[in-house]
Chains A and B, each alone.
Chain A
Amino acid sequence: MSNNRDHALIKRCLRGDRMALGELVTSYERPVFNVAYRILGNPDDAADITQIVFLRVFERLDQYNPKYKFFSWIYRIAINESINQRNRDRHEQPLEEERVAGGSHPEDALQNAQLSDVIQDGLMTLQEDYRTVVVLRHFSELSYRDIAEVLNIPEKTVKSRLYSARQLMKVQLREQGVVQR
């Protein structure tokens, strides 16, 4: 998603153009949903958070600073809202995580679903700052620099969190027999 294209769409949205709004929502709905799902582990919560994220974004669209990348802004809101939701859930009730199979190849769906569950279980054992960098790196495919911008932390911190998170994930995946000793 190009930043110039995003800026052009935002300008059109600010003029009341709903077609531009539709383009922005369809571009970012899936990435935002996936970030929320990987942080929360529950598709219903992820769908709710996705809606909230877009409402927040468009409520504050006139405050958006084009100096920054639009996707950084929307990802940051997605992460904050997901973590807030996670904290609320933690206070209210133990999570019963629902799982969804990803993917477009039906023949691989079962294997993907099982692997997805194992990886999701591993992710949920990580502390939030580790889980967040893993999600942004592996599920949103952001660079170190982009992750640093989204989280507003130095690139060095991104690397060290990612390193620690991967070591912990490796242990989890070994215990589940997905990665050999």
Chain B
Amino acid sequence: MIEERIADMIQADVDGELPAASRAELDAVLAQSGEARRFRDEMMRVARLMNELPPIDPPPGLTRRILDRIQLPSPEGWHSRVAAWMRPASYGMAVAAGVVIGIGVANFAPRFDADIAADLPGLVGTMVDRSALQAPNAADRMVIDRPGVRGEAVLVPLGDIWSLQFSLNTSNPVEIRVSADPALRFGGLADPESELRIVEVSGGDVRLVHEGRHPFVLYLQTESGRDVGSRDIAVFIGRDGETLFEGRLQTGG
């Protein structure tokens, strides 16, 4: 029969938790006792069998299901329910915008098929990467180059819609405020990475939180057939109450 103290030491050794001070004592016991060696070997075998079993892979799609169900608190206590109900509408707007761009830019023509809605994130990414920075028909654009936030915002007319395309890189979360003239109202958001948090929408004013590096597009809508003339769109970027950037875009005349 193995002494309880020795059995404890053997178990600690099997688990890699034997204190260095006990090593010599255990080695001496093992050298002298066949029973202790057998006990150690059996315990080692049982432990090894369990240790060597590979972990089980969770079912595919579990991460997505988890992420879809979790609501995080939004900064300043604002709830992001607005974003939840706004998103389906914004996808429709994004598809509409994609259609207009698709007609105007030959590169998009092959992608212009029945699967366009399913491929929306890719489309939006393309819209920002290719058209935002090179858009020949941009009404206005601004370069943002401040510590902690760099990138560009481009305003592109798409029929009755104005597409405000952001391509930003921020090191920490920033608040972005877009205030459009009352003739324009917020019509939707295309956010291929689903990382943005809209915290407030009112008419043509939108507040959202952005972090990292990914493109997104805000759509501003005019009443059908109405000429909005030259209208201002103010863009403010800040963090923790501090203004990092302020600028204005114009729809033109």
Contacts and interface: CB of A to CB of B under 8 A. Distances in A.
A18 B208 CA distance: 13
Interface string A1-33: 000000000001111111101100110011101
A168 B209 CA distance: 55
Interface of A: 12-19, 21-22, 25-26, 29-31, 33-34, 37, 43, 46-47, 50-51, 54-55, 58, 62, 100-105, 112, 115-116, 119, 134, 137-139, 141, 143-144, 159, 162-163, 166, 169-170, 173, 178-179
B15 interface: yes
A102 B53 contact: yes
Contacts of B15: 137, 144, 162
A112 B54 CA distance: 8
Contacts of B66: 25, 29, 50-51, 54-55
A102 B54 CA distance: 5
A138 B51 contact: yes
Contact of B49 (A54, A103, A139, A178): A178
Given A25-B66, A58-B72, 13 more contacts: A16-B73, A17-B173, A18-B67, A26-B63, A55-B66, A103-B54, A119-B50, A119-B53, A144-B15, A169-B46, A169-B50, A173-B46, A179-B45
Contacts of B8: 159, 163
19 contacts: A16-B73, A16-B80, A18-B197, A19-B212, A21-B70, A29-B66, A43-B56, A51-B65, A55-B66, A103-B54, A105-B54, A138-B50, A139-B53, A159-B11, A159-B12, A163-B8, A166-B47, A179-B42, A179-B45
Contacts of A19: 195, 211-212
A124 B218 CA distance: 55
Closest 10 CB pairs of A and B: A103-B54, A138-B50, A33-B58, A102-B54, A102-B56, A16-B74, A58-B70, A54-B66, A16-B72, A170-B46
A101 B54 CA distance: 9
Contacts of B211: 17, 19
Given A25-B66, A138-B51, A16 B197 contact: yes
Contacts of B235: none
Nearest to B8: A159
B156 to A, nearest CB: 27
A16 B209 contact: yes
Contacts of A134: 50
A29 B56 contact: no
A104 B54 contact: yes
Given A18-B195, A163-B11, A102 B55 contact: yes
Contact of A179 (B12, B46, B74): B46
B62 interface: yes
Interface string B1-26: 00000011001100101000000000
A53 B121 CA distance: 30
B194 interface: yes
B115 interface: no
Nearest to A26: B63
A140 B213 CA distance: 35
Interface string B28-68: 00000000000000110111011101111111001101110
B55 A13 contact: no
B69 interface: yes
Contacts of A54: 66, 69-70
A34 B50 CA distance: 13
Contacts of A43: 56, 59
Contacts of B43: 166, 170
B190 to A, nearest CB: 17
A16 B173 contact: yes
Given A19-B212, A179-B42, A139 B55 contact: yes
